A and B are shown apart, each in its own frame.
Chain A
Amino acid sequence: MVFQLLSVRAENFRGFGAPFQLALDAPLTLLLGENGAGKSSALNAIEWCLFGSEVAKKGSGIDERGAWEVAHRGSAGPIVVALTMDALEGRVVLRRSRAADAKVRDADTLELELPGGDVLGPGEIEDWRVRNQLPDWATWKHSFCQHQELLRLRVTDDGQRSAQLGRLLGLDAYLAASAVLKDLRYGSLQKTAQTQLADLEGELARSMERPAVELQEVTARLAELGVDRAALSGDMVEERARVLTAGARELAGGLDGPLDGAAVPDTTDMAELAAWIPGWLRLVKDAGRQLEDEAAQLRRKQRGLEDARASLAPAKRRRDDAQAALSACAGAHGSLAALEAERARLADERSSLKNEERAANETLALLRQALKHLETSGHAGTGVTCPVCDHTDPGLEARLQARLQQGGNGFAPRLEALDQRDAALAKQHAELAGLHAELESAEITYRQTTENLRASLPNDMGDTGEQADGLERQLAAWKRRIEALERDARRATDYAVQCATEAEVLALLGKWRIAVARADAAAGDLTRTAAWEDLDAAIDEAAGLACDLDAIGQMIREAQNERSRERAQAVNQSLGKYYGRIAHREGTPAAAIRVDVKQTATKISYRLIDGTGADATPVLNQAAMNALAFALLFAQVEDRAARGLPAWVQLDDPAQSLDATHESGLAAAILELSARVPVLVATYEGPLSRRLIEAAPDTLHQVDLGTNHQPQGARR
């Protein structure tokens, strides 16, 4: 082994304000001091010089380093730490410095002074590190020093224990290779690829859903309209368009008038048809209405004619009946004029008779007066002189009385007979007048009916016979015309409904064609696209890489396993030796702790088993855990030294949690290790230090730091 630390010098670093120098060239260096004396600062100085900010950040792997201050609080000068060491090049000085007011992200100044005075910068120092096989921070952290935080994790944490044991077996290179493979995450390549493919598939499925739903809706509506979904084809639009326009032309030519001149396009183009159909539908509907109006009008005329025809016969019959009745009545009673003449004669006769009656009544009144006078004058019986003619007639009274007894001479019966005769004539007259009136009314009705009928008939119809024939012909002609109009109107209406449906079908078919194209595009074979081929090739490459990495990993694991087994015996001896010493169990089965190698298809792991083959760690107490942790560290450092690698171990307050027996055992182990590897122990006055001082007076370099060296604390 060429590499050896010789001394460390620190200034303005953590606990050290003033320059502090510590020789490290003895096999065992013992730093003694109370708490705060600067023991840990001395050890930290070595780490900081070698690894800089790596040791002083959260990612250092040591939690307490997250809030670490490098600078000595109260010092304004630059922080400087220098390590003097023997290396392949001879005696060199590695110097790391940092301005007191440097920001966290400011880089340190690092230089390496070579024996000839040449100075190497950071990049060259890395090469120098590799050349001298100096450890990186992770290796240092686990294999060169005992940090309180990390000590027991070596045993208690499965991963760290396995890694530690792997290092102990000298398998750093394999572990590093495995770590590289793990960093490449080849195991997740497959999952990543599959996840991405699944995501893509999900996305594709979603994008396919919408066109599929659209297609389904269009197809369902077409089915409702009577279009068999099984018969749907790309040519159907053209076929139905041709049928539609042919039907339109047939209708236009067959309606006899309303659609004359209407243009029907000779096309199957959906856009042209879509522009034409609404106007055409309006035309057809208007034509239908026009035909219906015409038919209704004709129907009204037909009804008028039929009504006229129906009322003609009754009117004629009434007139004839009236004539017959009048004739019969006239034959029986004479004419109306004769009846009137007779009644006039009867009136004259009655008037004469009435006069006669009046004269007779006046005579009778006079006679009664005369008789009364005779009676009052006393002339009655003795003759009476007529008061009228002064004729005295002795028989006058009697004659007067006889005369009075004769009365009005029968005027009343004669008048009554006359009145009866007149009443009979009046009745006959009224009857005859009524018949005359009825005849006149019937005549008028008949005349009006015939005039109406004549008005409803074409002008060229002459006599009644012609009119009757014409009437029937006209009615028959109108009937035919009405039927034709109604048929055409129905045809137009039906066609309009069909055409509207067909227009929707055509529009849906257009949509269907687009939806099919969309669905086809969405459901197309994406695996034949260039993009997919690129992705597929990339996945193949990833799979190839994963396969290769898998194979390499497998080879590494096999070699590692082989190497593990080769090295296991020596390591187990070393481990058992140190564990026995520290735990004071040398030669007992409990000290026969050994490394067990477990290989699976994907990894190798290590554990510690006891003499019975059982897992050793679950039954260990705290002191035994610490003992085992130290044993692992010591065995590992010893192994590095045995392999000619730079080896060094520094222990910061290692006696924690150890009783006197274990302290004694630890001292014995340190003494044994220091025979092979330089050891730096920082501790306080106690059993451990005393045992070391007593046992190694010649090889021990003791530095007493005394009391507190950092009264103002430390700062970064």
Chain B
Amino acid sequence: MKPQIRRQLDELSQRTGKEYGKLVQKLLAIAFLESGAEHLVESSIQGIDLQVRLAGIDHAFEVKTSEGADITLGKKDLEGMTGHTRQGHAVYVATLTSGLFTNWIFARFHPGELPPAKKLSAFQLRPYRCRDLEARITAAFDSAVEHHAELAITDGQRGLDQVLSTYPKRHLA
């Protein structure tokens, strides 16, 4: 990730506080739509955060952001991911932590391997990474941040929802 993008994300985090995770999720949704997602369902309240059909394959993403290097996976997160795995979806923990070397880590979820409500470091998720997917989304995400971070700071989720509403393939759960 370009340091410029990192700086924008840091500013976004500082200016929006708790809303940051949701805003990043929406920026990621924009990135998926810009990367050719055929269908995208965004969960605004509970359940898996993003369901994305890419190249005909259904993916499910539990999006986790963190100021530090650790994330927390709650029981409901694990249940949600397990449920989608059973539906045949390719399920990932999408993790974005802080740091200049940070990039998205899309870790493939395997039911039973991750303990609930435990602090996990991005390091522990690395063995499950899907590099192709990460490579596919990184540039689009950078672009989404570059173009919409200012709007996210000023208008919050509402602003990004307006952007997302311009994509016909985006749906709300």
Contacts and interface: CB of A to CB of B under 8 A. Distances in A.
B123 A532 contact: no
Given A200-B101, A204-B100, A193 B123 contact: yes
Contact of B124 (A198, A205, A532, A543): A543
B134 to A, nearest CB: 10
Contacts, number: 52
Nearest to A197: B101
Given A194-B69, A194-B121, A540-B127, A524 B101 contact: no
B129 interface: yes
A429 to B, nearest CB: 108
B17 to A, nearest CB: 23
B97 to A, nearest CB: 10
Contacts of A547: 124, 127
B101 A523 contact: no
A224 B1 CA distance: 34
Interface size class of A (residues with CB under 8 A): 20 to 34
A661 B72 CA distance: 59
B101 A190 contact: no
Contacts of B123: 189-190, 193-194, 539, 543, 546
Interface string A506-541: 000000000000000001111100001000000110
Contacts of A381: none
A543 B101 contact: no
A272 to B, nearest CB: 33
A584 to B, nearest CB: 49
A544 interface: yes
A540 B4 CA distance: 25
Contacts of B3: 204, 208, 523-525
Interface string B54-83: 000000000000000100000000000000
Interface string A200-220: 110011001000000000000
Contact of B129 (A208, A523, A540): A540
Nearest to A203: B100
A547 B122 CA distance: 12
Nearest to A537: B131
Given A190-B121, A523-B2, A523-B3, A543 B99 contact: no
Contacts of A539: 123, 126
Contacts of B142: 525
Contacts of B127: 540, 543-544, 547-548
Contacts of B99: 197-198, 201
Interface string B108-135: 0000000000000101111101000000
B103 interface: yes
Contacts of B4: 523
Contact of A540 (B1, B100, B101, B126): B126
B135 to A, nearest CB: 9
B1 A525 contact: yes
Contacts of A525: 1-3, 142
Contacts of B101: 197, 200-201, 204, 526-527, 532
A205 B2 contact: no
Contacts of B125: 543
Interface in A546-577: 546-548
A412 B103 CA distance: 142
Interface string B1-12: 111100000000
Nearest to A532: B101
Interface in B118-173: 121, 123-127, 129, 142
Interface in B1-31: 1-4
Among A197, A200, A204, A546, max chain B CB count under 10 A is at A197
Nearest to B125: A543
Contacts of A524: 2-3
Interface string A295-309: 000000000000000
A596 B123 CA distance: 34
B1 A544 contact: no
A547 B128 CA distance: 10
A526 B99 CA distance: 12
B82 to A, nearest CB: 19
A190 B2 contact: no
A525 B5 CA distance: 9
Contacts of A546: 123-124
A527 B103 contact: yes
Contacts of A523: 2-4
B102 to A, nearest CB: 8
B142 to A, nearest CB: 8
A526 B101 CA distance: 7
Contacts of B1: 525, 527
Contacts of A527: 1, 101, 103
A715 to B, nearest CB: 54
A543 B126 CA distance: 6
A194 B69 CA distance: 9
A16 B89 CA distance: 78
Contacts of A204: 3, 100-101
Nearest to A543: B126
B66 to A, nearest CB: 13
Nearest to A190: B123
A208 B69 CA distance: 22
A539 B122 CA distance: 11
A524 B69 CA distance: 22
A204 B99 CA distance: 11
5 contacts: A197-B101, A204-B101, A525-B2, A527-B101, A543-B124
Interface of A: 189-190, 193-194, 197-198, 200-201, 204-205, 208, 523-527, 532, 539-540, 543-544, 546-548
Given A194-B123, A540-B126, A540-B127, 16 more contacts: A189-B123, A190-B121, A190-B123, A197-B99, A197-B101, A200-B101, A201-B99, A523-B2, A523-B4, A524-B3, A526-B100, A532-B101, A540-B129, A543-B124, A543-B126, A547-B127
Interface of B: 1-4, 69, 99-101, 103, 121, 123-127, 129, 142
Enumerate the 9 nearest inter-chain pairs by beta-carbon distance, A residue then B residue, closest first. Answer: A543-B126, A544-B127, A190-B123, A525-B2, A523-B3, A547-B127, A201-B100, A540-B126, A543-B123
